[in-house]
């Protein structure tokens, strides 16, 4: 039995085998972001605010990046589970092609439309607005490389080999850690140096991803020719699976931008506090996202093999593990928030106070955020991408309304925005998790009997 075969063996050991490298990858991604913030925080809180504003557009790009990554994860995992390697190869190749194409298109839109995009926020400080425009102009050109590396990771993840993603992202992090202080301070480029460092790291990650697909001894396929004639049926299936998730991600970020514009009305300090606080909060959702990706691959292979009981046991085990993790993070955010925020904004106590209040609101819903990742991962592994998207889009729309009402029509002000973010995250997680509990009662309980 291959160690990458997720349809046999101990469920706990297989989940950890797949999940730990992906969680490590997400920790690296979080460290990536924290490295930028650490050095920019020493430049000024305005620099953190500018990069945080651009971060919303990079976050929005995830709505398009996931076509390549998720298309590969679902398509490869399900067909590996069925034993159809040729079809799995088709999903891998077409996912990579989609990733490169969308990355180039989005880079052009972000770079040449930056005046209008950054202007949406009506940032009060002119220097922050200009820094954000310059930062976006540079980091846009890293998107094709980021998209390509993500799709390559999806190919490996779907085949059950998640260690490659960890190694490749580790290389990118190392490059970013070295280049950030050199370009920001030694070269005197400031926030533009952070952008150049990010693009350089993304380029190297994409390069090593393609080398791994072509040369790594445990690669899923002997050869992948990306630039061949697209397979219309495969691309159609990828878009059918991923479009609900893409719309969910796009609207999530789009609606978040309205909240961000509301936050910006309270000044650059509020933007910086939310930027740093969201990275602390990502202890839950980034690691939960990594685990959810592992669960998608686990579920996909077992769905292809029609092992329903194994899917249900994997779901229950995952729920327990994520409840424990959500509890730990919630306690950290509530009791250690001031220390964490202070590491990145050491010279502005007012901004630290704002960030602490943000984290304490979010601390109470960390368990529900984790459970959202579990349910969403199992849904998506079965190709059922619509339910999580419906719940997410509905709640995120309501969250904008709550934020405006609490901030403008009650004495809470900015704290009302933080409260609306917490309530929205908790409601979304509870809804998706409960939905899967009802759905799981309907799926087939008896495993398929396959001929020897």
Cβ partners under 8 Å of residue 243, min gap 6 = 385
Full residue range of the structural domain in which residue 409 is found = 11-440
For 27-37, the pLDDT digits (tens) are 887 777 778 87
3-state percent helix, strand, coil for the chain, nearest multiple of 5: 85, 0, 15
> Does residue 423 lie within any of the structural domains?
yes
User: Which pLDDT does position 110 carry in this prediction?
Assistant: 96
Cβ partners under 8 Å of residue 424, min gap 6 = 395, 396, 398, 399, 402
Provide the percentage of residues in the chain whose pLDDT is more than 70.
97
Q: What is the pTM of this model?
A: 0.76
Cβ partners under 8 Å of residue 3, min gap 6 = 17, 160
Picking from 340, 291, 333, the residue whose alpha carbon sits closest to that of residue 26 is 291
User: Which pLDDT does position 147 carry in this prediction?
Assistant: 96
> Does residue 448 lie within any of the structural domains?
no
> Does residue 449 lie within any of the structural domains?
no
For 394-406, the pLDDT digits (tens) are 998 999 999 999 9
Mean pLDDT of 394-420: 93
For 153-173, the pLDDT digits (tens) are 999 988 888 888 788 888 888
Could you tell me the pLDDT band of residue 55, with boundaries at 50, 70 and 90?
confident
In angstroms, the CA 148 to CA 224 distance is: 13
Least confident piece of the model among 164-168, 308-312, 358-362: 164-168
Picking from 249, 54, 74, the residue whose alpha carbon sits closest to that of residue 142 is 54
Give the number of domains in the chain: 1
User: Which pLDDT does position 267 carry in this prediction?
Assistant: 85
258 phi and psi, to 5 degrees?
Answer: -65, -40
Tokens of residue 250, six digits: 């796009």
> Does residue 90 lie within any of the structural domains?
yes
> Does residue 426 lie within any of the structural domains?
yes
> Does residue 174 lie within any of the structural domains?
yes
Q: How far is CA 271 from the centre of its chain?
A: 20
> Does residue 28 lie within any of the structural domains?
yes
Residue 331 has pLDDT above 80, yes or no: yes
Is 6 within 8 Å of 18 (Cβ atoms)? Answer: yes
> Does residue 446 lie within any of the structural domains?
no
């Amino acid at each position: 039995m291959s160690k990458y075969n997720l349809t046999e063996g101990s469920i706990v050991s297989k989940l950890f085998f797949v999940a730990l490298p992906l969680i490590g990858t997400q920790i690296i991604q979080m460290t990536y972001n924290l490295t930028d913030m650490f050095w920019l925080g020493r430049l000024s809180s305005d620099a953190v605010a500018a990069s945080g504003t651009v971060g919303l557009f990079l976050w929005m790009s995830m709505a398009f990046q996931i076509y390549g990554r998720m298309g590969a994860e679902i398509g490869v995992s399900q067909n590996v589970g069925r034993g159809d390697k040729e079809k799995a190869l088709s999903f891998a190749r077409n996912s990579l092609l989609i990733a490169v194409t969308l990355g180039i298109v989005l880079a052009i839109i972000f770079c040449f439309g930056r005046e209008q995009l950054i202007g949406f926020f009506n940032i009060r400080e002119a220097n922050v607005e200009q820094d954000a425009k310059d930062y976006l102009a540079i980091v846009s050109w890293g998107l094709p490389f980021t998209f390509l590396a993500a799709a390559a990771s999806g190919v490996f993840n779907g085949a059950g080999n998640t260690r490659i993603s960890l190694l490749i992202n580790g290389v990118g992090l190392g490059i970013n850690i070295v280049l950030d202080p050199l370009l920001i301070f030694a070269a005197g480029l400031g926030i533009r140096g952070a952008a150049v460092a990010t693009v350089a790291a993304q380029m190297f990650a994409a390069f090593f991803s393609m080398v791994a697909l072509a040369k790594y001894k445990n690669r899923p396929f002997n050869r992948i020719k990306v630039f061949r004639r697209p397979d219309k049926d495969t691309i159609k299936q990828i878009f059918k699976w991923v479009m609900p998730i893409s719309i969910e991600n796009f609207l999530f970020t789009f609606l978040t931008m309205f909240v961000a514009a509301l936050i910006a009305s309270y000044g650059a300090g509020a933007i910086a506090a939310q930027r740093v606080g969201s990275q602390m909060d990502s202890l839950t959702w980034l690691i939960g996202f990594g685990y959810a990706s592992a669960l998608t691959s686990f579920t996909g292979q077992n769905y292809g093999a029609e092992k329903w009981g194994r899917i249900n046991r994997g779901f229950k085990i995952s729920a327990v593990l994520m409840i424990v993790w959500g509890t730990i993070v919630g306690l950290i955010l509530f009791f250690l928030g001031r220390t964490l925020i202070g590491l990145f904004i050491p010279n502005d106590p007012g901004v630290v106070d704002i960030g602490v209040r943000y984290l304490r609101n979010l601390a109470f819903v960390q368990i529900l955020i984790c459970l959202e990742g579990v349910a969403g991962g199992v849904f998506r592994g079965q190709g059922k991408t619509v339910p999580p998207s419906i719940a997410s889009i509905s709640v995120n729309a309501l969250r904008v309304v709550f934020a405006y009402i609490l901030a403008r029509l009650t004495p809470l002000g900015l704290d009302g925005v933080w409260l609306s973010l917490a309530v929205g995250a908790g409601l979304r997680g509870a809804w998706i998790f409960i939905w899967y509990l009802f759905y799981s009662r309907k799926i087939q309980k008896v495993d398929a009997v396959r001929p020897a």
